[in-house]
Amino acid sequence: MIIFVDGYNVIKHVSGESYSSELDKNKFLELMSNYAKKHGHEATVFFDGGSLNFAYTESYKFLKIVYSGYKLSADDVIKQYLQSQKGLKILLVTTDRELRNFATGLKFDSVKSVDFYKILTQKAELGSFEQKIASSGKIDRSIYKTTQDDNFNLDQIMQEASKKIQIKKDDYGKVDVDKNALRHKLRKP
């Protein structure tokens, strides 16, 4: 599976801080690289800025890193990449509503940053989800997918992400993730 990650969006939503340090960024890249290697995913992490005025890529272990340059935002570059990848199975990781809507319009799936981070860091027994799905013989179809294709890895991520659905404050009062616990995991040495 191909995963596009809005890097600073994930780091900032997990840490609860408006600024992300180089240490936070490096820890996240290490987690993401390990995840990509373990699951055989092709992962691209997008960041705002960089040392050039145009978008450029770097490699980091099992990741491709794209910096937007200082003339574009990472959101702009992510949109360009999504448009150029029509027809492929891509999962976008971001909490940015505009980006998620853009991806949905192109028939790509997306998951919120904090939900993906929980999947990234969970200490669950390897294979337990696969065994559960295999024994049931089906995937929970209550999860909204924009494609009809069976893709076990995507289905697994969507299933895990749906375990914590945020409810609008207007509807039932605010339900939120425990950001302190997630912040602790991100900053843990």
The token pair at 189 is 């040495």
| Domain span holding position 109 | 2-187
The domain tally of the chain equals 1
Q: What are phi and psi of 157, to 5 degrees?
A: -65, -45
What's at 82, amino acid-wise?
L
Model confidence at 111: pLDDT above 80 = yes
Q: Where is mean pLDDT largest: 55-59, 127-131, 143-147, 156-160?
A: 55-59
Answer for the pair 90, 104: CB distance below 8 angstroms, yes or no: no
Q: What is the pLDDT of residues 49-96, one digit of tens each?
A: 988 889 999 999 999 999 999 889 999 999 999 999 988 999 999 999
Q: What value does the mean pLDDT take over residues 22-44?
A: 92
The token pair at 131 is 């065994």
d(CA 80, CA 183): 31
Cut 0.85: pTM above it: no
